[in-house]
Amino acid sequence: MVTESPPPDLVRHVAGTTGLPLGVAARVVADVVAYFGETTEDYVRRRHAELRRGQYRNAQIWAVVTVELAARAVAPPVLTERQLRRIVYG
């Protein structure tokens, strides 16, 4: 999780283009920066837990996570199902 303040010029830009108050724009920017700063391993663990709570089975989860990882802004190398399981279960 990013603990630094988001760039002030970006916060002003988001506030100015969306009409959001500066405080809300700062939180939005911080959330986006944290989201894209998440490691592949943390992302896989988080999404696995979220999808398990949604009653998905592991076979479905691995397929969903594989597609999602490929669509990330900076996509990691393609991971096999075995690699995904090792991230989650060790």
4 pLDDT band, cuts 50/70/90, is: confident
Range of the domain at 31: 8-37
Same domain, 78 and 51: yes
Same domain, 29 and 54: no
Same domain, 73 and 52: yes
Distance CA 85, CA 40 (A): 13
Same domain, 45 and 27: no
pLDDT tens figures, 27-64: 999 999 888 889 999 999 999 999 999 999 999 999 99
C-alpha angle with apex 45: 26 to 70, nearest 5 degrees?
80
In-domain check, residue 83: yes
Q: Indicate yes or no: pTM above 0.75.
A: no
pLDDT tens figures, 58-86: 999 999 999 999 998 888 899 999 999 99
Q: Into how many domains does the chain fold?
A: 2
